A and B are shown apart, each in its own frame.
Chain A
Amino acid sequence: VSTQSTGDVSEEGDVTSRGVRVSLTLRQCTTEPCRCDYPSQCDSQNYGKPRFSVESEADAAKIEGEFVSDVYEEIADHFSHTRHSPWPGVVDFLNSLPSRSLVLDVGCGNGKYLGVRDDILVIGNDNSANLLSICRERGHETFACNALSLPVRPALCDGVICIAMLHHLSTRERRLRCLANLASLLRPGGRCLVTVWAQEQHLDDGEIGRREFPSQDVFVDWQKKQNAADAELFYRYYHVFREGELEDLVREVQGVEVERVTYEKANWCCVFRKT
């Protein structure tokens, strides 16, 4: 604001001389991270966060390398400790498969779902060697690979699960490619459950729209240590899905039909069947 030593100018053109002005700014100091309702405008909430920008396959691979694969390798043990309770929806799906089924868990993480049922054979795969080591310690069979390229012959599986993995792919085309890969694993009649984080975070507890991710491509932080003194901060990339988005994507895959879509604990879940 430029200084006006002469004074204020009124609408009629009169000039009044300026007096002393007193300006008061009231600030509130917080001792905790900001949780204001304007995360996408907030400097504190966005401080240090990476920016999402993907214009090529190389960009996509880079984001998924730096903000997914590498992070999971670093946080594997800590991450595994926080992932111990199987979700009922996934358990229900596994229980709905025929006895003596052959199942692949794509993006199996710490192997939480590999031993849920005694009478089916579930093989896990994941991109993180450290997470697979945890699976091995627990006595499960796994192999390492990226879900965008599965080294498996087609049409062998009675069931496939892909839990909280698809949302780490940074372009629509890659997400679609992954779904097509999952579909190709299935025998005719075989079924797949896919779950992804929802942009809408509270649809099932009455607080509709109460909290949403500010955009669909987000970086979510992870603190490696408990105490703040030597906490190491990592960011994981997520593409969070809007209502209908996962279903629409599955409908673009050849040879499958959608069985059901549900919202469970802030995740969109879709079951589809190979025709």
Chain B
Amino acid sequence: QWYQRRVRGMKLLTHNMMKSHCKGVVNGFPLKLSSTQVEVKEVEFNADFITRMLERLEWGALVDAASQLGVADGLPEMAPSSGKEVDEEEDVLRKIHHVLLEVEITEGELECPETGRKFPIKNGIPDMRLNEDE
């Protein structure tokens, strides 16, 4: 089974997809990470999926988040080119796979970079719900 269904927290792929939706925020990306408890698990590698995701990622934010969690070893500083003809070295793709899918944040906080509003991650589930006035 490729994508194991024993997820216990927020993956860095998801973190890279998310931005703040506080009212009036111009650039709410990326959300700052703090107070994080992290679990690392094995997920079966699939080169196709990683290749498909490459051009959707904000690379700088991914490297920063991975560095913060201490899992950025071997991650290239610049985004690998993701044209259809390019055949990335498999071990680079595997490093990206590790960062995107094998690291899960089970507890912690996400913070809007503009307003400072904190969104808790509890039991692996980020709570992005806003109050009426936000």
Q: Which residues of A contact B8 (CB under 8 A)?
A: 136, 139
Say whether A153 faces chain B, with CB atoms less than 8 Å apart.
yes
**Interface size class for chain B?**
35 or more
User: How many residues of A are counted as interface, with CB atoms below 8 angstroms from the partner's CB atoms?
Assistant: 34
Q: Secondary structure of the B side of the interface?
A: loop
Say whether A80 faces chain B, with CB atoms less than 8 Å apart.
no
Q: Which residues of B contact A14 (CB under 8 A)?
A: none
Within the assembled complex, what's the spacing in Å between the Cα atoms of A132 and B18?
18
Check B128–A151 contact: CB distance below 8 A: yes
Check A138–B5 contact: CB distance below 8 A: yes
Given A138-B5, A140-B7, A143-B10, A151–B56 Cβ distance below 8 Å? no
CB of A89 to closest CB in B, whole Å = 23
Interface code A218-246, partner B: CB below 8 Å = 1, 0 otherwise? 00000000000000000000000000000
Interface code B29-56, partner A: CB below 8 Å = 1, 0 otherwise? 1000000000000000010110011001
Identify the A interface with B (CB < 8 A).
58, 61, 99-100, 102, 114-115, 118-121, 123, 125, 127, 129, 132-133, 136, 138-146, 149-153, 156, 187
Identify the B interface with A (CB < 8 A).
1-11, 13-14, 17-21, 28-29, 46, 48-49, 52-53, 56, 58, 123-130, 132
Nearest 3 CB-CB pairs, A to B? A139-B5, A145-B128, A100-B49
